[in-house]
Amino acid sequence: MLTSREENCHRNGFVSNVEWFSLLSREEADTMPPRTTKHSPLTQPPAVDVVLQFVNTHTSGPRRLKERFSDAQSMQAWLLENGLATPATHVAEADAAGARELRDALITVLLAHSGDKDITPEVLAEAEEYLRSIAARYPLVTVVTASGASLATAQTGVPGLFGTVLAGITELAQAGVWNRLRACRHQPCHFCFFDRTRNSSAAYCGTKCGSQASMRAYRQRKKELATNTDLT
């Protein structure tokens, strides 16, 4: 039998693996079935869902109508929609600010995965340093069972959410598909997605963004050519 919290998680589509992504206590995690980390490169592991749902809360591009972490109230509403909180869950303004900072650092990494030239080594290093500090602030615990071991958050509420996102990223890295999580290179979209291409070459979330980016690049080259011609 699923608990009401687990039913909410499944109904809202935020998670598809109760062991790995529910905001579980260590005792609850011990009762869950073992996870698997063996995936085809074209298969989307369950951990993808939680990471993408978190990072795709921004306002960039046509797919997002509003900022979901603009303040404590909007973040709590998002948590409730996804079965990750109750009306009694306390969300502070600092929590919303922390969620935005974590999300932005992750999007920077996902843009680097997409080969975005605007993500310089310095910009990427800054994001990675921030993520290391977050990982230290929201540590994970090892859950050992007779069938194996996994990482899970030991916290609840907003800290548990941050830990759950980090746990999902760790699973994706262990499965060898972390670099397949990407952010669309087209400005200002930056919608995040899982790259299912066989050669891991996707840089845009869809053909529309890809076409618009190609047209923008063509116009830029044409403009530069005209400028160079005038100079000669």
pLDDT higher than threshold 70 for residue 64: no
pTM over 0.85: no
Name the nearest CA neighbour of 69 among 101, 23, 47, 110: 101
Average pLDDT over residues 45-74: 86
What are the residue ranges spanned by the domains of the chain? 4-204
Name the DSSP letter for residue 178. Answer: G
pLDDT score, position 187: 83
CATH 1.10.3300 is held by the domain 4-204: yes
pLDDT higher than threshold 70 for residue 96: yes
46 against 2, higher pLDDT: 46
Bridging pattern class, strands 192-194 and 181-183: antiparallel
CA gap 192, 50 in Å, rounded: 12
pLDDT score, position 6: 43
**C-alpha dist (Å) from residue 121 to 54, 106, 173:** 24, 15, 20
pLDDT higher than threshold 60 for residue 164: yes
3 state DSSP class of 152: strand
pLDDT score, position 17: 35
Cα angle 88-93-99, degrees, rounded to a multiple of 5:
95
What digits encode the pLDDT tens for the residues 16-59? 333 334 433 333 333 333 344 455 567 788 899 999 999 999 87
**β-strand partners of 230:** none
